[in-house]
């Protein structure tokens, strides 16, 4: 591996430079200075050992407390497990401050501690106490001799903590060393960087200048400065992201003409007249938005958000018919084979009824059938194709594809979407549907180039699902309750989490659950099982039996999370509910409550729950509103899901800003970006020189998807 300049920085050297590269993806000094602390600790406050137990939220063994500073003396040292390997060999010491005693423990560097730390001398130690059976211990505390007057940074009290890995620590690259390296550099270079935002933004937005912000983010003089530094750096990050998005969006709108659907015709009208219910106002509004898009001469790229059960499929179907009425073909792509099949089975009879031809294409479509589909697509005999990723394979060619619907967006990346654009001489219109609702600005950022529509209304007459929490120990009652529902002729889902940590045992919980369930409910009721490792054919067969009510209970993993529709199912049991995220629980719960009967969602958990988990379960029991749950999810877990799976769609990684938590800054940044692009789309004005150059650096080598057409 080629070494970078970092190695020449005092305190780094070749080995640590290599570690910074491999472990933290830091290749330059600038990147090192952009490695911000993940949190700050107030070292100005010295705690008493007697305070520690009061800080413990009472979660028992293994609970982690905040990092704290203690002042006192080491009393007894004991080395245990001499000659043994691994953690059995360690050094323990008692540390006392007059109010109590805490244990310190070292697994590495034992010799060093023994040789340097003295009994009876006054020390400051800094670390994170852990509880075990009522006693507290700190492993590998930072140790300093008490003489605060000669530490200039100690006065401020706020210390940055940097993320490091075990491997880095083994080579002495811990939070403290990183801090020292950065301090060393900043002491020698007073203003190392050029400003990264135009003066007029810095001024009007009252931002801290870049150099100062970098200094303050690493070594805050006080809490107020830290806040301002954070604001400046977050703003900058979100601003450039928005500038990129707003600009791509504008360019795309300028260059990509879309197919013009001028008329609503027989397909649409005949189908519409056969719908056995009245569309909700939200469905009608979204259809109008879509109609305006496809009639505008521009290419539609629209995201449709709507809670589970809000009737997105109906909107999608009518949207496809708009294409057919104008002489185009349409396709509907789903993330899994089960879902694609279900869409096909649901839609085919209705569509064929009004004279539309439709086919299903998935990974398990036979070669012969596939060939026929290819042929009929190319000669235009087929109007609508429903399927999985198989649809975007290059050998699938349409005669005249005008509309693409993508169900459950979060499993599709921007890149996959762009492949669809090559399916016709012009990119077809695209409607992306998701049941993971997120606030609008956030959606515009995560999905970048998409316009957003929202169905915020459920069809009338739905009974809210009753959600109940049950402990593991209340199984008997649970079995009785499920039996009660089955006796009424209803069906039930029982969902198990995957055991992620162990590939071999991954499906053990669900397989064991299947056997248990059979024992409990058989032979009167039949039980089917689906999970990810089964062959597609077997999965479909099992699913099919449940759909046709040949099996009354379906034991499954989250493969049923999205879209599956069995209105007769009235119970959703989620085992180990503590292992699921809120939005996932919400998705799963959405599988029931689709019929006229009262439905139930039962969350089963073990009897030891952290307070976060408790709150998650409480939120689920309290509300069925998807937006409320999404917001609680962001609050409780941070952006987790969102930034994990969806941020991958972002143009660059966010270092300090959070899409979930910094919504306010995001709005402001977006306003700025829009205003600037409005006035100066190509960033040619002299005052925007910084922006143009910065964009080139930040987005160098990025494929601009907006340009593909």
| Three-state helix/strand/coil letters over 652-670 | CCCCCCCCCCCHHHHHHHH
Question: Three-state DSSP class for 528?
Answer: strand
Residue 316 or 481 having the CB closest to Mg ion? 316
Write the binding mask 314 to 353 for ligand ADP: x where contact by CB under 6 A, - elsewhere.
x---------------------------------------
Segment near ligand ADP (CB under 6 A); pick from 212-220, 307-315, 371-379, 698-706: 307-315
Torsion of CA 507, 508, 511, 516, to 10 degrees: -150
Partner whose binding site includes residue 613, from ligand ADP, Mg ion, none (CB under 5 to 8 Å by kind): none
Angle at 566 between CA 565 and CA 569, to 5 degrees: 135
Question: Three-state DSSP class for 69?
Answer: strand
Residue 221 or 314 having the CB closest to ligand ADP? 314
Partner whose binding site includes residue 72, from Mg ion, ligand ADP, none (CB under 5 to 8 Å by kind): none
CA–CA distance, 423 with 299 (Å, rounded to integer): 14
Segment near ligand ADP (CB under 6 A); pick from 144-152, 198-206, 312-320, 474-482: 312-320
Segment near Mg ion (CB under 5 A); pick from 237-245, 452-460, 558-566, 612-620: 558-566
Residue 563 or 593 having the CB closest to Mg ion? 563
Angle at 544 between CA 540 and CA 550, to 5 degrees: 140
CA–CA distance, 581 with 589 (Å, rounded to integer): 12
CA–CA distance, 239 with 457 (Å, rounded to integer): 33
Write the binding mask 225 to 264 for ligand ADP: x where contact by CB under 6 A, - elsewhere.
----------------------------------------
Determine if residue 120 is left, alpha or beta; phi over 0 gives left, psi from -120 to 50 gives alpha, anything else beta: left
Residue 408 or 578 having the CB closest to ligand ADP? 408
In Å, how far are 435, 554, 602 from 566, measured between CA atoms? 17, 11, 18
Name residues contacting ligand ADP, limited to 513-572 (CB under 6 A): 565
Q: Angle 508-521/475-487 helices, nearest 10 degrees?
A: 60
Among 435, 454, 571, 629, binds ligand ADP (CB under 6 A): 435
Partner whose binding site includes residue 141, from Mg ion, ligand ADP, none (CB under 5 to 8 Å by kind): none
Pairing of strands 451-455, 466-471: unpaired
292 token code pair: 């305006």
Residue 316 or 577 having the CB closest to Mg ion? 316
Torsion of CA 141, 145, 148, 150, to 10 degrees: -120
Segment near Mg ion (CB under 5 A); pick from 383-391, 521-529, 561-569, 640-648: 561-569
For the CB of residue 629, give the shortest distance to ligand ADP in the complex, in Å.
Answer: 15
Residue 311 or 387 having the CB closest to ligand ADP? 311
Per-residue DSSP letter, 34:
T
Residue of minimal Cβ distance to ligand ADP: 311
CA–CA distance, 702 with 643 (Å, rounded to integer): 19
Instruction: Mark out the alpha helices in 488-576 (DSSP H runs).
Output: 508-521, 536-547
Is there a contact between 525 and 487 (Cβ–Cβ < 8 Å)?
Answer: no
Find the distance separating the first CA and the last CA of the chain, reported in whole Å.
39
Partner whose binding site includes residue 279, from ligand ADP, Mg ion, none (CB under 5 to 8 Å by kind): ligand ADP
Write the binding mask 453 to 472 for ligand ADP: x where contact by CB under 6 A, - elsewhere.
------x-------------
Cα-to-chain-centroid distance, residue 660: 10
Residue 104 or 333 having the CB closest to ligand ADP? 333
Write the binding mask 1 to 40 for ligand ADP: x where contact by CB under 6 A, - elsewhere.
----------------------------------------
Residue 334 or 665 having the CB closest to Mg ion? 334
Among 164, 299, 301, 310, binds ligand ADP (CB under 6 A): 310
Residue 305 interacts with ligand ADP (CB under 6 A): yes or no: no
Contacts with 7 (C-beta within 8 Å, 6 or more apart), sequence order: 13, 14, 16, 17
CA–CA distance, 654 with 638 (Å, rounded to integer): 14
Residue 279 or 536 having the CB closest to ligand ADP? 279
Name residues contacting ligand ADP, limited to 259-298 (CB under 6 A): 277, 279-280, 283
Number of residues binding to Mg ion, judged by CB under 5 A? 1
For the CB of residue 532, give the shortest distance to ligand ADP in the complex, in Å.
Answer: 22
Is there a contact between 94 and 75 (Cβ–Cβ < 8 Å)?
Answer: yes
Is there a contact between 171 and 15 (Cβ–Cβ < 8 Å)?
Answer: yes
Residue 563 interacts with Mg ion (CB under 5 A): yes or no: yes
Pairing of strands 329-333, 401-407: parallel
Count CA atoms within 13 Å of residue 707 on its CB side: 5
For the CB of residue 564, give the shortest distance to Mg ion in the complex, in Å.
Answer: 9
Residue 244 or 344 having the CB closest to ligand ADP? 344
For the CB of residue 487, give the shortest distance to ligand ADP in the complex, in Å.
Answer: 25
Residue 350 or 647 having the CB closest to Mg ion? 350
Residue 309 interacts with Mg ion (CB under 5 A): yes or no: no
Residues of this chain that bind Mg ion (CB under 5 A):
563
Residues of this chain that bind ligand ADP (CB under 6 A):
277, 279-280, 283, 306, 308-314, 435, 459, 565, 594
């Amino acid at each position: 591996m080629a070494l970078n300049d970092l190695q020449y920085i005092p305190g780094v050297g070749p080995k640590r430079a290599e570690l910074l590269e491999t472990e933290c993806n830091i290749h330059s000094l600038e990147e090192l200075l952009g490695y911000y602390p993940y949190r700050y600790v107030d070292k100005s406050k010295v705690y008493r050992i007697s305070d520690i137990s009061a800080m413990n939220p009472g979660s028992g063994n293994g609970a982690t407390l905040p990092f704290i500073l203690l002042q006192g003396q080491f009393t007894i040292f004991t080395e245990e497990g001499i000659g043994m390997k691994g953690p059995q060999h360690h050094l323990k010491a008692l540390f006392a401050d007059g109010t109590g005693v805490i244990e310190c423990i070292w697994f590495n560097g034992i010799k060093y501690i023994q040789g340097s730390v003295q009994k009876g001398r006054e020390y400051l130690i800094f670390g994170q106490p852990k509880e075990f059976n009522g006693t507290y211990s700190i492993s590998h505390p930072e140790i300093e001799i008490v003489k605060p007057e000669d530490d200039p940074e100690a006065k401020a009290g706020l210390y940055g903590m940097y993320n490091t890995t075990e491997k880095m620590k083994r080579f002495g690259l811990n939070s403290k060393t990183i801090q020292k390296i950065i301090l060393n550099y900043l002491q020698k270079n007073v203003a190392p960087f050029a400003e990264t935002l135009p003066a007029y933004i810095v001024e009007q937005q009252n931002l801290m200048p870049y150099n100062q912000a970098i200094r303050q983010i690493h070594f805050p003089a006080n809490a107020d400065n830290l806040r301002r530094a954070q604001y400046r750096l977050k703003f900058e990050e979100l601003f450039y992201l928005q500038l990129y998005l707003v600009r791509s969006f504008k360019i795309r709108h300028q260059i990509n003409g879309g197919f013009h659907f001028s008329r609503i015709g027989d397909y649409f009208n005949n189908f519409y007249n056969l719908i056995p219910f009245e569309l909700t106002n939200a469905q009608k509004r979204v259809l109008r938005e879509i109609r305006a898009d496809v009639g505008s001469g521009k290419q539609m790229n629209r995201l449709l958000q709507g809670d589970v059960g809000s009737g997105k499929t109906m909107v999608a179907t009518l949207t496809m018919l708009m294409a057919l009425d104008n002489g185009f073909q349409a396709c509907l792509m789903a993330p899994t084979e089960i879902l694609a099949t279900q869409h096909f089975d649901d839609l085919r009879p209705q569509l064929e009824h009004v004279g539309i031809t439709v086919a299903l294409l998935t990974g398990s479509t036979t070669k012969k059938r596939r060939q026929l589909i290819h042929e009929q697509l190319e000669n235009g005999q087929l109007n609508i194709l429903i399927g999985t990723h198989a649809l975007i394979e290059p050998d699938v060619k349409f005669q005249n594809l005008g509309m693409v619907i993508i169900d459950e967006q979060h499993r599709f990346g921007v890149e996959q979407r762009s492949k669809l654009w090559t399916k016709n001489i012009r990119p077809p219109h695209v409607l992306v549907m998701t049941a993971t609702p997120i606030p609008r600005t956030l959606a515009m950022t995560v999905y970048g180039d998409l316009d957003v529509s929202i169905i915020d209304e459920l069809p009338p007459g739905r009974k809210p699902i009753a959600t109940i929490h049950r402990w593991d120990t209340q199984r008997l009652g649970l079995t009785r309750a499920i039996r009660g529902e089955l006796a009424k002729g209803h069906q039930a889902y029982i969902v198990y989490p995957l055991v992620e940590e162990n590939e071999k045992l991954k499906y053990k919980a669900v397989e064991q659950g299947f056997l248990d369930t059979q024992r409990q409910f058989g032979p009167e009721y039949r039980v089917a099982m689906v999970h990810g490792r089964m062959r597609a054919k077997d999965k479909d067969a099992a699913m099919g039996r449940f759909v046709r009510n040949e099996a009354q209970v379906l034991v499954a993993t989250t493969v049923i999370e999205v879209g599956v529709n069995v209105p007769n199912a009235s119970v959703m049991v989620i085992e180990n509910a503590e292992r699921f995220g809120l939005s996932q629980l919400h998705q799963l719960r959405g599988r029931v409550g689709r019929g006229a009967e009262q439905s139930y969602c039962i969350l089963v958990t073990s009897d030891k729950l952290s307070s976060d988990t408790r709150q998650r379960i409480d939120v689920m029991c309290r509300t069925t509103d998807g937006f409320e749950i999404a917001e609680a999810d962001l609050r409780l877990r941070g952006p987790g899901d969102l930034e994990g799976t969806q941020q991958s769609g972002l143009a660059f990684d966010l270092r300090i800003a959070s899409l979930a938590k910094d919504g306010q800054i995001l709005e402001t940044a977006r306003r700025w970006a829009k205003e600037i692009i409005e006035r100066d789309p190509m960033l040619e004005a002299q005052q925007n020189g910084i922006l143009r150059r910065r964009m080139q650096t930040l987005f160098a080598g990025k494929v601009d998807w907006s340009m593909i057409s």
